[in-house]
A and B are shown apart, each in its own frame.
Chain A
């Protein structure tokens, strides 16, 4: 097998290209849909096919190799090229994006009547952009696609936002994202310029950039620019302010699912920042760890104080992000594997929470916790979906997050003082606190005088399918994590070897304790 692996693996069928362009095709068709029904039919078909492709990719993916697979190059106008590839770092994200696409079609949220196909087309465009992002192995291409991602996101927020103040949310979102993107661009250009001054040609391929490691000062500058640029997209504390706003003012679930379900920022950290800027990563590690820890607690505490379920979920994401960043910056195999799996699981779990909250809002009409209560009898299926997603978020054993969080803790103990690991675990209990609180307030608590009495409606078939898929995937992955671990293992080991100097010595924790 190793003989075939000598060069980048090229496949006959350009599956990555297909994954990116299939939603675009669906988008073009959806534009011409005459009715909502038609549009959603097109969307579901396209998303279903996409999921099929993603599953095929997952099965064809060779977990025993840490190389980029299925690579594809496209050249346009000899200036701009597209370079696609997947490895263990991205293949799960791609699967999740495909799954979320289908779930969103099933969810089918449309608040107002506009031209019928527009909503579906936007969703598909967003999915295409996300697919492109996760397949990008070129830094500049990643940046360009990040800009493209803004277009459907803004459109969804602007056209289907549910609140009077959504203009403000749109402005806030764009300001945050634009500054983040500018920082990432500056960092990208810095690296490219460094490469150009050393070799005479501009390149943004990680493989090429690796050959010209920048001097320490330049590395630090690039790290600060790119990391904090990405931190905005990640909603990492203290750059998270946009997320609660848009989740309160935006669509119920759609935008949130796409923005936090698919962890683009985590992918970029793993793909670009860690391999390209190893020294700066080491240098800034304490600062980042401090921010991550603060984020875990800050997010959890603010989530505890929220009155609106929608804002509560946003702060839950802020808390999760802190944990993921901590895992990544443990810089060893367990921590990285844990963080990667956990970001996939958290993505799914957050989507599950948002979907069930969204479906709940559709019936109850309010997201204010004081106005909810006693809804368990009315919507038991939703309650259970919410609970399973919540348990997954608090890394309960039996959900996929447990094994991932367990790995992440192992990595954290190995890399940082075990105090950090304890803090992460304690943060997780806080997460449990606010989620249980939200669950109780919404589903179990006595209904107050002011509470809403929802009409008892049956779940439609798509809604039932949606909740079914969410529960099944979360529980199914939870009790058998082995295959997923195997998929990410090789790539993550390769990444950890960059930082492997410390790993040559016998395992860290014992030496620390002695």
Chain B
């Protein structure tokens, strides 16, 4: 275990909070925006520092900070990162800079509160990625709800925004219950295994619990509780209905955030599966099955959508299914690809939603009826949107290709059926994206608003260019991303596959591990 000298993770988590507090002192919206951008850039620089301080050759958890918090329940403030999570603080910082830049002129009311809530969301999201104590994780997990509730209900662009805010919060709170119970069961299991009475024997420490076997029936309960909790947030197929609502009613910056960071999938990868590896392996078919349904279902619905924001939401659901298939393949390629795709979402889905936001800001609508021929007046916006769209489809040369390619290899090696489902997802995604793009951006200009719409301003242009640049860079040099997680993914896969009593079914359905 490597303890860090400078508490860089705590600084990363605390800095947005401090910035949010400092915003209270800046009554002028213009100053507030500039200050927020500066603070977000500082955070981005710090997150680059984190990448520099991280040792990519080691598969271990690093930069751990541990402070006792509630001693009598053995709850501590523990943060740390490993190869699975180290990219996400950077992406979080990057996307928050992007959201602040993108909403520069879109948000005109209560600017300070908006920015403060954005910082709060950034801080809690960072906490979710870094927390290594399950109660601390749950704390950050639930605290993300407060800024999201306000962001949707105060700055949502749709008329039903308040309904959307309550719907989102209630669905998430309901999803929090199984999560909490799963965490409690893990702690109980720890007490039982080491044979101490309940309050003293409890442990919520991720690294401790990871090394403790969980009894089979207990393990099944833990797995399903955690999986359910994370599936709601992801969103995995039957629990997905909140995402289209929020994407349509909420502010586009937040929609970019929610589709950019699949906290639920991260939770499945980080907690639900490694905690109970043999159960996870046993039920890998279930994860893959839900993923396969999600891929096809999301894509089919997206094919029928006429509103860009709903289309992006359903495409996001389809992508989550894809990632689940990758994870459930339980081999290095699949998991590596899934992790790559998770990192990709932050840039690609986030970027597409921000561009959709620019479109909405100009035309007051992202529905087909309000578009048509938009490329004529906004050629730059259209081209950047197109490149990001190609990345979402997974065209070679973009980062999406590398990720989907890896996941497809993994899926075909594990189970041909899920591999085919994933492949059909790619074809369908090309269909819905290109179909919508053609109808929205090409053809004759029907509306006056579209004819006179201004193209991307320099601020927006820079933002889009940076995001697109990253997409292409990662597409040409995928090792930049995969290199950060190689050892961690290998350890993850080995952990899931090397459990002594894995079932025969799992071995059959996943293929033999090859290292």
Contacts and interface: CB of A to CB of B under 8 A. Distances in A.
Is chain B a partner of chain A in the same complex?
yes
Given A425-B177, A507-B191, 4 more contacts: A333-B198, A410-B188, A482-B71, A510-B215
B181 A421 contact: yes
Interface string A203-244: 000000000000000000000000000000000000000000
A65 B146 CA distance: 40
9 closest A-B pairs by CB: A397-B139, A425-B177, A397-B142, A510-B192, A429-B173, A432-B173, A429-B174, A482-B70, A444-B153
Contacts of B221: 513
B104 interface: no
Interface in A436-452: 436-437, 440, 444-445
B162 A403 contact: no
Contacts of A429: 170, 173-174, 177
A432 B169 contact: yes
Given A397-B142, A433-B166, A444-B154, A510 B218 contact: yes
Contacts of B170: 429, 432-433, 436
Contact of B181 (A414, A418, A432): A418
A398 B70 contact: no
A340 interface: no
Contacts of B142: 396-398
A506 B196 CA distance: 9
Contacts of A513: 217-218, 221
A87 interface: no
Interface string B207-240: 0000000010110010000000000000000000
Interface string A269-295: 000000000000000000000000000
B69 interface: yes
Contacts of B198: 332-334, 410, 414, 507
Contact of A422 (B135, B141, B181): B181
A150 B462 CA distance: 70
Interface string A390-424: 01001011100011001101100110001001100
Contacts of A444: 153-154, 162
Contacts of A398: 139, 142-143
A149 B143 CA distance: 40
B149 interface: yes
A151 interface: no
A494 interface: no
B379 to A, nearest CB: 38
Contact of A437 (B139, B145, B166, B177): B166
Contact of B135 (A334, A406, A425): A406
Nearest to B177: A425
What is the interface of chain A mostly: helix, strand, loop, or mixed?
helix
Interface in B148-163: 149, 153-154, 162
Contacts of A406: 135, 180, 184
B109 to A, nearest CB: 9
22 contacts: A332-B198, A396-B143, A396-B146, A403-B73, A406-B180, A409-B181, A413-B184, A422-B181, A428-B173, A428-B177, A433-B166, A440-B166, A480-B69, A489-B72, A506-B195, A507-B191, A507-B198, A510-B189, A510-B218, A513-B217, A513-B221, A514-B217
A3 to B, nearest CB: 26
A396 B149 CA distance: 13
Interface string A321-346: 00000000000111000000000000
Contacts of B169: 432, 436
Interface in A460-489: 480-482, 485-486, 489
A403 B71 CA distance: 12
A485 B181 CA distance: 21
Contacts, number: 101
Nearest to A440: B162
A422 B141 CA distance: 19
What is the interface of chain B mostly: helix, strand, loop, or mixed?
helix
Nearest to A332: B198
B69 A397 contact: no
B72 A486 contact: yes
Contact of A413 (B69, B145, B188): B188
Contacts of A334: 198-199
A45 to B, nearest CB: 33
B192 A485 contact: no
Interface string B65-84: 00001111100000000000
Range for the number of chain A residues in contact with chain B: 35 or more
Contacts of A514: 215, 217
B165 interface: yes
A509 interface: yes
A147 interface: no
Contact of B199 (A333, A397, A403): A333
Contacts of A391: 146
A426 interface: yes
B184 A410 contact: yes
Interface string A148-164: 00000000000000000
A422 B224 CA distance: 14
A425 B161 CA distance: 27
Nearest to A409: B184
Contact of B177 (A376, A413, A422): A422
Contacts of B195: 506
Contacts of B185: 509
Nearest to B77: A479
Nearest to B221: A513
B222 to A, nearest CB: 10
Contacts of B180: 406, 409, 425
A506 B166 contact: no
A489 B192 CA distance: 21
Nearest to B137: A397
A413 B170 CA distance: 23
B35 interface: no
Given A429-B170, A513-B217, A507 B181 contact: no
B500 interface: no
A188 B180 CA distance: 41
Interface string B270-312: 0000000000000000000000000000000000000000000
Contacts of A489: 72
Nearest to A411: B198
B442 interface: no
A55 to B, nearest CB: 22
Interface in B32-86: 69-73
A421 B188 CA distance: 14
Interface string B128-142: 000000010011011
A482 B189 CA distance: 23
Given A425-B180, A432-B173, A510 B188 contact: yes
B197 interface: yes
Contacts of A403: 70, 73
B218 A481 contact: no
B346 to A, nearest CB: 25
